[in-house]
A and B are shown apart, each in its own frame.
Chain A
Amino acid sequence: MKISHVAALVQKEYYQIIRDPSSILIAFVLPIMLIILFAYAISMDISKIKVGLILEDGSNYAQTLAGAYINNQYFDVKVARARHAFEEDLIAGNIRGIIIIPRDFGRDIEQGQIKPIEIITDGTEPNTANFIQNYALAIWSAWSNQQAVLSGIQPSGRISVEGRIWYNPELESRYFLLPGALALIMTLIGSLLTGLVVSREWERGTMEALLSSTITRGEFLLGKLIPYFFLGVISIVISTCVIIGVFQTPFRGSLVALGACSTVFLFTALGMGLLISTLAKDQFVACQITFISSFMPTFLLSGFIFEINSMPLILRLITYIIPAKYLIACLQSIFMVGDVMNILIPNICYMGVVAVIFLTLTLIKTQTRLE
């Protein structure tokens, strides 16, 4: 292996990167865009849900309960008296649920019974439907505690539950989404960009020129690895600054830990990108495979948004071979908890092993002769 060969290749790649606006797009514009989208467009914190309220009963109890549903931070309420007033709206998706306070609601309470109120939700959005159920119940409970008459009907609990949330007491979803966005950014640069670059060499026939030169496989791979590694590093540094500086995400771990796990993960992502492009030799195919095998798993199967334990067994087993799962665990801990060695060391070791496997496979699979 000659340093001068590698240096020449790196230089060529460097020119290609800075002359192509799309590399700048992927390294600097896309990351910032992803961060902004994850900070604002994805919010796990539900804001006011639009519901319709049907008040069939005119009693005092019904009025105060309706008041409780109208004046709270969970619901944005429209009121009507007839039962079928809101069905069209629910089908069209203008409202997400209907709350019905039935006839005789007040009379039953005076007789010492509880008449259930009816809740209809739009099941096509199960998440929102769940929130409506929970909020509707919470508001009912708060209201019933205020109503002295009801206290005799409801058994009061003796055990009180004190809930506390560690690491993220305000439940800001961006605190865990933004570190996850970092993982997506690394996958983009490492796998997608690198994947495209090598398959382009095949597609355009410049690979043949390289093959007929005196360059060895190792030199070729290093020539591709080094420039994109640095591009990735620059992009991570900028993204991290934006996440911490602009979006005020806590950073409780150390920069050393962040550097260590990002570096190792970048190598796995680069290894994957190189391997895919070596096998695909076609940019469209490489792009599709990268999307399926690295971008999508990073998004779906890494525990970043969706809980791994809730998935079916097969998918849970698949998550073990997805490097992003290990990175996300590291990143979320570094940002929100600190350097938890129990998490960092095993996860980094695993990613290291994956990187070595990918790079070795690429080295073996890179052909030095034409078919």
Chain B
Amino acid sequence: MWNRIRTLIVKELRILMRDKKTRVIIIAPPILQLLIFTYACTLEVKNISIGILNYDTGYESRELVDRFKYSPYFTRITFLKNLDEQRDFLDSQKGIITLTIPNDFSRRYENGEPVKVQLLTDGRKSSSSQIASGYASSIISDFQRPEGADAIEPLRIRNWFNPNLDYRYFTLPSLVGILCMIMGIMIPALSIAREREFNTYDQILVSPLSTIELLIGKTVPSLIIALLQVTIMIGIAVFVFGIPFIGNLFLLYFSVIIFMTSIIGIGLFISSLCRTQQQAILGVFAVAVPLVLLSGYATPVENMPRYFQYLSTLDPLRFFLVISRGIFLKSMSFSAVVGNLIPIICIAFFTLNFAGWFFKKKLD
């Protein structure tokens, strides 16, 4: 039995590594994606371009504008002359925010009277413009603080596990799960679809392989590749990006194996419904995109409407992301990890059984 399984595993790995093109395409994309995602996925806002419409010629207004000039957030300042220019500035997306200073600003400010400035933001980019408007407001409140007075800090804030709120701490451990998942669905889904497209599936059917042997033989190669990828990605996260890994590495690998088994089960499940590679690829797509979007990576699960929260409990990635970030950054305890592994095991049990049932049906 072990001999037959081993032969099948070797054959599967040979197909995956058959030529240079496929070898590159299995290893390179996840790494490339890891790098691009890490640098691109930031909700921080930097290098903001602001338009300033200053109707005032007084000293105080120039002081205020200078504050914006020396701010690290606003790197490009455009001076606008009138309302038309202001409208065009926002309409054509030359910037996402404008500041309007009224013509009596300096006079009223010096006399200690209340005065109003206006911040207009572009709702097309609502999250960045909200953040930009937060920066602008804090510059304005700094400006009116009397000289020498310290800002009152009513809150003392500590961010555990990630003191500077570096977004990469969040992105990288999550990507380990997401990128492995995509490969883990794709490889088994395609391997069977490929056999069917080239009519070699019939040969497997007449071979002495039993259902369970076939299932193991199709699962293990993807698992090997997944573990290889996880290792490379953890290496990049720790050594290239300097993300601290404070948890138990074995616990993470253990979780990865269980998670990937459930994912490969999904891949085999898809492939059992498909007759061609094209169908398998599109099927993978139709499943992988919702799995990623419902996992809490794009936005926290708590923000979703209730029905989507229920739906997300069917998503193994949702639980794995908690584990991955937990072990990576928080040294999550064994019991907390197991609590998140149980739903994954249930999903794996269901999908693998279905795939096994499908193989069996074909064999009989």
Given contacts A126-B167, A155-B149, A315-B36, contact A283 B278 (CB under 8 A): yes
Number of interface residues of B (CB under 8 A): 109
Given contacts A42-B298, A306-B42, A309-B49, contact A120 B117 (CB under 8 A): no
Question: Which of B3-11, B221-229, B253-261, B282-290 lies at the interface with chain A?
Answer: B282-290
Given contacts A129-B159, A307-B128, A337-B124, contact A114 B117 (CB under 8 A): no
Instruction: Tell me if B277 and A200 are in contact (CB < 8 A).
Output: yes
Question: Which of A1-9, A52-60, A133-141, A262-270 lies at the interface with chain B?
Answer: A133-141
Instruction: Tell me if A124 and B330 are in contact (CB < 8 A).
Output: yes
Question: Which of B86-94, B232-240, B354-362 lies at the interface with chain A?
Answer: B86-94
User: How many Å from the CB of B272 to the closest CB on chain A?
Assistant: 15
User: How many Å from the CB of B39 to the closest CB on chain A?
Assistant: 5
User: How many Å from the CB of B254 to the closest CB on chain A?
Assistant: 18
CB of A166 within 8 Å of the partner chain: yes
User: How many Å from the CB of A359 to the closest CB on chain B?
Assistant: 23
- Taking CB atoms and an 8 Å cut-off, the chain A residues in 1-60 that contact chain B are 20-22, 25-26, 29-30, 33-34, 37-38, 40-50
Chain A residues in 8 Å Cβ range of B322: 93
The 8 A CB mask of B143-155 against A (1 = contact, 0 = none) is 1111001001111
Closest A-chain residue to B129, C-beta based? A165
A204 to B47, CA, bound (A): 51
CB of A127 within 8 Å of the partner chain: yes
CB of B13 within 8 Å of the partner chain: no
Chain B residues in 8 Å Cβ range of A343: 91-93
Chain B residues in 8 Å Cβ range of A34: 289
Instruction: Tell me if A117 and B308 are in contact (CB < 8 A).
Output: no
CB of B216 within 8 Å of the partner chain: no
Instruction: Tell me if A289 and B281 are in contact (CB < 8 A).
Output: no
Chain A residues in 8 Å Cβ range of B113: 158
The 8 A CB mask of A152-171 against B (1 = contact, 0 = none) is 01110111111111111101
CB of B310 within 8 Å of the partner chain: no
CB of A336 within 8 Å of the partner chain: yes
Instruction: Tell me if A133 and B157 are in contact (CB < 8 A).
Output: yes
Chain B residues in 8 Å Cβ range of A204: 197
Select which of B165, B302, B331 is within 8 A of A123 by beta carbon. Answer: B165
CB of A119 within 8 Å of the partner chain: yes
Closest B-chain residue to A41, C-beta based? B293
Closest B-chain residue to A188, C-beta based? B285
Instruction: Tell me if A22 and B282 are in contact (CB < 8 A).
Output: yes
Given contacts A154-B152, A163-B121, A284-B22, contact A312 B286 (CB under 8 A): no
A117 to B112, CA, bound (A): 32
Chain B residues in 8 Å Cβ range of A225: none
Chain B residues in 8 Å Cβ range of A288: 25, 29
User: How many Å from the CB of B284 to the closest CB on chain A?
Assistant: 9
A126 to B152, CA, bound (A): 24
CB of A291 within 8 Å of the partner chain: yes
Instruction: Tell me if A167 and B124 are in contact (CB < 8 A).
Output: yes
Chain A residues in 8 Å Cβ range of B302: 47-50
Chain B residues in 8 Å Cβ range of A42: 293, 298-299
Question: Which of B130-138, B207-215, B343-351 lies at the interface with chain A?
Answer: B130-138
CB of A300 within 8 Å of the partner chain: yes
Instruction: Tell me if A20 and B160 are in contact (CB < 8 A).
Output: no
Chain B residues in 8 Å Cβ range of A291: 29
CB of B37 within 8 Å of the partner chain: yes
For A25, A33, A307, A333, which residue has the most chain B Cβ atoms within 10 angstroms? A307
Chain B residues in 8 Å Cβ range of A163: 118-119, 121, 133, 137
Chain A residues in 8 Å Cβ range of B157: 118-121, 133
A218 to B342, CA, bound (A): 56
Can you list 28 contacts pairing A with B, beta carbon distance less than 8 Å?
A: A20-B279, A22-B274, A34-B289, A37-B289, A42-B293, A43-B299, A93-B325, A114-B152, A114-B154, A117-B154, A121-B158, A121-B159, A161-B140, A163-B118, A168-B123, A171-B126, A176-B124, A196-B277, A200-B276, A288-B25, A288-B29, A309-B49, A310-B47, A311-B40, A314-B39, A340-B92, A342-B91, A343-B92
Contacts beyond the supplied A41-B308, A283-B278, A284-B194: 12 A-B pairs with Cβ under 8 Å? A29-B286, A159-B117, A161-B117, A163-B119, A166-B120, A168-B124, A168-B126, A196-B277, A282-B21, A283-B281, A301-B40, A329-B93
Q: Top 5 closest A-B pairs, CB basis?
A: A168-B123, A123-B162, A123-B159, A342-B92, A22-B279
